[in-house]
Amino acid sequence: MIIQIYEIQTPHEAEQMIREGVDHIGSVLVSEEDWKKPLVYDTIRLIGDSPSKSSLIPLFNNRDSVFRALDYYQPDMVHFCENLCEPQQPSGMLQHLMDLQHQVRERFPSIRMIRSIPIPEPGKGKAFSIWEMAGLFEDISDFFLTDTLLGSVAGNAGTEQPVEGFVGITGRICDWGPARELVEKSRIPVILAGGLSPENVLQGIVRVKPAGVDSCTGTNLQDADGKPVRFRKDMDRVRDFVGKVRSLEKTK
């Protein structure tokens, strides 16, 4: 079972993740303009000298910008998490994203690719075929990652995402039924994400049977109002999350 933890932006937190046995350690580039982050660079270099793998999310998809970032950081994996259901997408955006992954494969053959597949929250409807959408990317991805699409799909197709144009960091659980369907149909490993925490990760694994699990907001520190603090991990919660997953593996 792959354990993946995001948002790790410093070598110190990466060391802690490695020590806890996290398999995929993810960092995020939040700005296309301010993309060069020495701390993130040092984080990825440190992970490279460990058994863990580094993953990098660019919150942009301009080909030249992505290539520049991958040339600089050289992560083990790049993770694309655009909201594929966004109704305001420019015409041809899906084709652009498919072309981008083809181009990354050609230019950086050693870098593996994760593609997020948006899945609505339970009860929010299923106005599109998740598998049809995922199938467009299956041959050009190494992993799928399910993540939560906010809003009613029939109404606004998830325009309420925390980061416009992308899915993730909602802290909300996706519909595990379609997620399980994706696991069953996909020829590549599927990582379950979307609101996973130490409190619900075991239920998610049992229900969906994914190849891995991912946590971001569910293992972040919380502020005085109980809201997750971005880019700051709660190591007790990370340790609990990892421990729950590994304990389930031991029972099999």
Q: What are phi and psi of 59, to 5 degrees?
A: -85, 50
Alpha-carbon span 156 to 153, nearest angstrom: 6
3-state secondary structure the chain: CEEEECCCCCHHHHHHHHHHCCCEEEEEECCCCCCCCHHHHHHHHHHHCCCCEEEEEECCCCHHHHHHHHHHHCCCEEEECECCCCCCCCCCHHHHHHHHHHHHHHHCCCCEEEEEEEEECCCCCCCCCHHHHHHCCHHHCCEEEEEEECCCHHHHCCCCCCCCCECCCCCCCCCHHHHHHHHHHCCCCEEECCCCCCCCHHHHHHHHCCCEEEECHHHEEECCCCCEEEEEECHHHHHHHHHHHHHHHHCC
Q: Which of 120-134, 143-157, 219-233 has the highest mean pLDDT?
A: 219-233
Six token digits for residue 19: 């020590």
Mean predicted confidence (pLDDT) in 58-65: 96
Mean predicted confidence (pLDDT) in 90-97: 82
Six token digits for residue 1: 């079972």
Q: What is the overall mean pLDDT for the chain? A: 90
Name the pLDDT band for 152 (thresholds 50, 70, 90).
low
pLDDT score for 228: 79
Residue 34 has pLDDT above 60, yes or no: yes
Name the pLDDT band for 71 (thresholds 50, 70, 90).
very high
Name the pLDDT band for 96 (thresholds 50, 70, 90).
very high
Name the pLDDT band for 93 (thresholds 50, 70, 90).
confident
Torsion of CA 119, 18, 105, 29, to 10 degrees: 70
Strand-pair category, 228-233 with 220-222: antiparallel
Render the burial of 109-143: b for 16+ CB within 10 Å, e for the rest. eebbbbbbbbbbbeebeeebebeebbebbeebbeb
Name the pLDDT band for 52 (thresholds 50, 70, 90).
very high
pLDDT score for 225: 85
pLDDT score for 4: 98
More confident of the two residues 164 and 27: 27
Mean predicted confidence (pLDDT) in 107-133: 83
More confident of the two residues 123 and 110: 110
Residue 235 has pLDDT above 90, yes or no: yes
pLDDT score for 171: 80
Name the pLDDT band for 121 (thresholds 50, 70, 90).
confident
3-state secondary structure 180-225: HHHHHHCCCCEEECCCCCCCCHHHHHHHHCCCEEEECHHHEEECCC
Using alpha carbons only, give the angle 105, 140, 127 rounded to the nearest 5 degrees: 145
Q: Which CATH superfamily is domain 2-250 in?
A: Aldolase class I (3.20.20.70)
Domain boundaries, the chain: 2-250
Alpha-carbon span 212 to 120, nearest angstrom: 19
pLDDT score for 122: 77
Lowest mean pLDDT among 74-78, 87-91, 187-191: 87-91
Residue 108 has pLDDT above 80, yes or no: yes
